[in-house]
Structure 1
Amino acid sequence: MKATGIFVCLFLFMGIVSLQTQAQEAPAMPENFLVFEEFVQPADLPAFSDAQQEAIDLWKKFEFEVPIFTYSTDVSSFYWVVPFDNFSALDQMFAKMTELSNKMKEDGYNGEAKFRDLSTTRETIIHWEKDLSYHRDGAEMQTRDNRYCEWTFFYLKAGHQKEMAEAVKKYIEFSENIDEEWSWDLYTVSMGYDSPCWIVMDRADSPLSMRKLEASLQENHTEKLSELWGNIQPHLRKMEVVTGWFQPDWSLNFEQ
């Protein structure tokens, strides 16, 4: 990305949100996230990776305090996910960003030159729906052990949020009474494109582990899963799935 990477876009966006700047004070599971989705042409991935690694090395060198969860997808894009708390700390955030930008420039990092024509971005604000997410073991945060991710984007019909929530709660009731360790996080798009949109995020240590879980669920609970899915379908306009990986080395200030 241009200049200091994602933080130039973040600076422009700060007029409507305030980011949590002290990672050590963040709750176990933040509820609000600013997501920068960055698109890179496959042919440009090597150059993008080199330029971005230089930027990240400088973020770490200058101890930038904002927590960031970084993901690469299998469709040549990246998610930069930044938790935020409330509308406080704006002045502190602007100051930190300005300080970081100045230090990078003084270090000789020309972001405009390095990222020219390499990527485009769009921003979304999402909210973690605790009551519609499910973790039997209580492991809610991203870790290095569950790096493989699948995001299912459910684009709802207008006004169907209440019915969709009830359908998801039936999945939770089902999951509490089976042997399989099935878990997920559900996010609703608070501000973004093509809303209403709900995002279900599944994690595993590998694609193979995810497929084994799905196979077990289908083998043992086919009829019930068909019934549950039947409750979801009437409320959807469309659906898409994106797969990818958590990138801990490109992330900052997260509990490991």
Structure 2
Amino acid sequence: MKACATRNPLRLFRRPKTLTAKPKIKPEAKPGVRREPTQARAQQTIQTLFKAAAQILDKDGEAGLSTNKVAAAAGFSIGTLYQYFPSKEVLLRAMAAKGQDMVLQALEQYLAALELRPDVAQMDPQDLLRQAIRILLQGFATGKGFTQSLIRLGWSLEQPQETASVVRQVSDRLAIFFERIHHPALPTPTTAQLFVLSRSVIGTLRSASLEKSPLLGSAALEDALVQMAWALLARK
């Protein structure tokens, strides 16, 4: 597919200035979107368009998807769709951006909640890792909340340099998390450990999604990722 000139939908985090300041995820304008909805009705319109497009994408693939089909399936005029999305490509990139945003917001909520728990240092360390990996696995590969075909589309639209930027920022957030929880079995990782961990996990999920691996959705894939993270991070 010809690369789009708009920003990559994976670029959702702002890099924290330091590792001592908790990063705040600020929603960015969707790439190429003509009008950013602010009212509840407009938000509902956007979600209805996304749902219709995802259903068509699952059934007919990207080649079978058009703005006219999306508008008709959603029950809107083509003019309503064009108020927000000037082309099919902009619509798809906005959908991918929304899906990625949901994943990263879920990860942030999970980590932030654990940081506030007074008993976090007594929690099962492997379970802490498993839940974080499960959020990434479901969002970047198996399709919780969004379909697997939409996730694959998001990966196919990626720009490598911006994906790398997002992964670096996720790595920084994890560094803050491990530093704050003071878990006896999970010391603060080194920069090298976090580099290997973040690239290995997200790279594996990217490959599994694009290759339509039969491992997607299996306990075996999740277990293997948890085992890798534990072997890398656990106090020896």
Q: Common fold, TM-score beyond 0.5?
A: no
Greater fraction helix: 2
Greater RCO (CA < 8 Å, at least 6 residues apart):
1
Q: Normalising to structure 2: TM-score of the pair?
A: 0.29
Greater fraction strand: 1
